[in-house]
Structure 1
Amino acid sequence: MQALGSRHLPLRNNVLHPNLRNQCSKRSTRVCRATGDAVKPDTLMQVALEAGRAGAKVIEESAKLPRQIERKEGNDVVTATDKASEAAIIEVIQKAFPGHAIQGEEGGVVGDVSSDYLWSIDPLDGTANFSTGYGSFCVSIGVLRHATPMAACIIEFVGGPSGDGFKQRTFTAKRNGGAFLEGQPLVVSKTRELRDAILATESLYLPDIPESWKPLSEMQRAFTASSRGVRISGSAAANACALATGTIDAYWQFNLKPWDIAAGALLVEEAGGQISTSDGCAWSVFDRSLVATNDLLHRQVLAVTEPETAKLRETGVKLGPWCVPTGYRVKSGAQLH
């Protein structure tokens, strides 16, 4: 596997983006015939949609039953529904592409890591929300070719357990083919000023590096003071959906894992949004920092995140690539080199 180095030029859809500074010195189912065969993004998207529906069916049925909750690392929880949803998703993917690799939040990596393709799945993004009946939560499936998202499906559950129950919204995207909500094209917002923007993030505390709390909280303070507000949904996939639909205008986050954001990132890009690391470098799904915006606000958001990211690094926080499956071939390319 090629070493994961620093990215020197921020790119958007394989092209140097003019709104970012030009330096960064830091750092239906068919069976695929062979692991190296290129698969059309539309084919990948259709399988992702089928797999997403399989996972969503498990969640829909489980939402009516008492939750079986277990502890994971720290304060994280996992339910029997997470595991059952992941199994249903993997079954669909492996039937269509037995030669592809799959990385699930709950079960780790299965399949052939020598494949060009890696399916990055979160069978229930927003487990804490699901466990208490708090919307929203999602099934999130992103398909990578090396480090580049090629297709995506997110099925979001919104509403609540009372009344008519949870409703589902189905988001799909394919590389260079657009992003969609229930088949209708998505476009990000046209907000141009940070003072008019609504942003999203998720709370993060690193107990091993308590000094990191100051720059992390400073970003929250700065954005709250300079925008119309900051929202916390409890789901990275839901935040990406909100950005792609124009409901929010920007989203920043640290310590996301590939399965958290692989699908959502493609949705944002194909809806016209812009993504970079928090210090303005070209981004990949294996990075630990993310700034995603409607494109028009990107410089203004980076003006807040870049200096605080530098302070985070000084405290010892690592923001380089992580969660790359052992043996998976991440090649040099537009999003990671």
Structure 2
Amino acid sequence: MDLDHARRVAVAAVEAAGDLLRERVRGTLGVRAKEGGDIVTDLDVAAEKLLLERIQGAFPGHRVVAEESGVSGAPDGEWTWLVDPLDGTNNVALGLPLYVVGVALCHACLPRLGVVHDPVARQTWWAVRGQGASGPAGPLAYRPARATPHGPVLAWTQGHGVARDDPALRALKTALDVRARRVLQLWAPLLGWVLLARGDIDAVVGYRAEAVDLPGGLLIAQEAGLTVRGFDGSRFDGRTDLPPERRSFVAARPALVDDLLGLVTAATARARA
């Protein structure tokens, strides 16, 4: 598999989808409810159609898992693409210009390529496993720890299926609000990963995160030098075969990981008590 070729195809695809979204986002927006309480718009569907045409046209033997249309392509394909055509749908529905397009390519359930495009800023970031991460200004690399006297700035993400009254959810959010200077709830998880990889924020904490938008962004952060651990402290690689209960993690600057892991461990223990 030529991952450099796959990267070029993916970058061209997400940027074309970004052009489509940027051109149409000011028009009339068709919004409907999805199962589980989330929403989908006409923009999601149109951008996904474009992405599927580009990816399946270039890689007809690959399997594709898309946010809106589900599984398509070769059912037994050795390689699997994950497609999130509009990460931040709720923001778009509210008129907030916070949304991105993301794709990832996985082999044996492990992300090998991740690409994220911001249509508003017209910027793209990508990573290939073992080859580092890059963005509009060139390579992304971990920067030395900065002082956080008033607590870290972090982004929070959770799965759509997490109930509002989930005891662990409430305990985690309370603990993070007390410890952090600011907890960002972006409604666009891939954007949070990019902010982390660029060094704009200090951490991303996820609780039972969604599977489609997790691997690509996580890979960009890892390849930029950030550390990602599961709530149990083990290395977390965003494998696509993990069930929701095992998709909880802390991603942060290396010096901050243990502190945050201790915080989430204590919070989840209190929730179980």
Structure 1: how far apart are the matches of 2:145 and 2:205?
16
Structure 2 stretches lacking a partner, 5+ long: none
Q: What residue in structure 2 maps to residue 139 of structure 1?
A: 101
Structure 1 stretches lacking a partner, 5+ long: 1-38, 158-165, 316-337
Quick one: percent identity of the two aligned structures? 28
CA apart distance, 1:206 = 6.3
Q: What residue in structure 2 maps to residue 298 of structure 1?
A: 257
2:154 to 172, 193, 199: 199
CA deviation digits over 1:278-310, x for unaligned, max 9?
222232333421211122211111101123345
- After TM superposition, the score normalised by the length of structure 2 is 0.89
Aligned residue type for 1:172:
W
| Residues 1:46 and 1:207: Cα distance change in structure 2 (over 3 Å) | closer
CA deviation digits over 1:117-141, x for unaligned, max 9?
1101100001011122212101010
Q: If each structure's helix is expressed as a fraction of its own residues, which one has the higher value?
A: 2
After TM superposition, the structure 1 = structure 2 runs for residues 95-244 of structure 1, keeping only pairs within 5 Å, are 95-157=57-119, 166-182=120-136, 184-191=138-145, 195=149, 196-202=151-157, 210=165, 212-213=166-167, 215-244=168-197
| Residues 1:310 and 1:107: Cα distance change in structure 2 (over 3 Å) | farther
| Larger RCO of the pair (alpha carbons < 8 Å, separation 6+) | 1
User: Radius of gyration: which is bigger?
Assistant: 1
| Contact 1:152/1:267, CA 8 A, preserved across alignment | yes
Structure 1: how far apart are the matches of 2:160 and 2:23?
34
| Contact 1:105/1:259, CA 8 A, preserved across alignment | yes
Q: What residue in structure 2 maps to residue 259 of structure 1?
A: 212
| Residues 1:132 and 1:245: Cα distance change in structure 2 (over 3 Å) | same
Q: What is the alpha-carbon root mean square deviation over aligned residues? A: 2.2
1:70 to 10, 21, 32: 32
Q: The residue matched to 2:213 in structure 1 has which SS?
A: helix
2:228 to 272, 275, 278: 275
Q: The residue matched to 1:176 in structure 2 has which SS?
A: coil
CA apart distance, 1:84 = 0.8
Q: The residue matched to 1:84 in structure 2 has which SS?
A: helix
| Contact 1:194/1:227, CA 8 A, preserved across alignment | no
- After TM superposition, the score normalised by the length of structure 1 is 0.73
Aligned residue type for 1:142:
A
Equivalenced residue count is 266
